[in-house]
Amino acid sequence: MTQFLFYFLSFVAVAAGLMVITAKNPVHSVLYLIIAFFAIAGHYILLNAQFLAIVHIIVYAGAIMVLFLSVIMLLNLNKDNEPAKSNILKLAAAVAGGLLLVTFTGTLKGTESIIASQPFDDQIGYVKALGKVLFNDFLLPFEVSALLLLSAIIGAVVLVKHDLK
């Protein structure tokens, strides 16, 4: 059952991902991206990381994609007002994408040898366990990332407020 679900979700995620880049209409791309996010959230649940799954849905599908969607709906992007891309650009994009692929393959090859160092704990993805780890072992990185987000918020406010004097 789990295996079947895994393959099904993977198929959905990959297919939706492909549709994101091949769809002609940007709004459709965004919708496919949302489907891909849901498939990935399903993967999280399969890994028993329910908190991560639900936060993934809230933040990505529920907030960021809604913003994306409303911006793209407003822009009214069409094929005819899409700027033509030169061949150099296309080449650069292909090289960059290829490099990313190489990096990913390299990283994933390295993980193969890792074996679960602790016995499997079915509470691992739950909020309590996650909170304990975040606020004990990773307190500093957690707080630093919070500060980072705060600075991003302040930056956004400064950008918007022209008459800040």
Residues at the interface with other proteins (CB under 8 A): 27, 31, 34, 50-51, 54-55, 57-58, 61-63, 66-67, 69-70, 73-74, 126-127
Among 55, 11, 16, residue whose Cα is nearest residue 33: 16
- By beta-carbon proximity to other proteins, the closer residue of 74 and 108 is 74
Whole-angstrom CA distances from 16 to 1, 12, 96, 141 are 22, 6, 22, 33
**Nearest distance from residue 93's CB to other proteins, in Å?**
28
- By beta-carbon proximity to other proteins, the closer residue of 19 and 31 is 31
18 is written with which tokens?
A: 């492909």
CA–CA distance, 29 with 81 (Å, rounded to integer): 17
24: DSSP letter:
S
- By beta-carbon proximity to other proteins, the closer residue of 95 and 133 is 133
Residue written as token pair 């849905």: 57
**Nearest distance from residue 131's CB to other proteins, in Å?**
11
- By beta-carbon proximity to other proteins, the closer residue of 6 and 126 is 126
**Nearest distance from residue 17's CB to other proteins, in Å?**
19
- By beta-carbon proximity to other proteins, the closer residue of 17 and 45 is 45
Is the distance from CB of 52 to CB of 125 less than 8 angstroms?
A: yes
**Nearest distance from residue 14's CB to other proteins, in Å?**
21
151 is written with which tokens?
A: 């600075």
What lies within 8 Å, CB to CB, of 121 at 6+ separation is 129
**Nearest distance from residue 54's CB to other proteins, in Å?**
5
What lies within 8 Å, CB to CB, of 134 at 6+ separation is 142
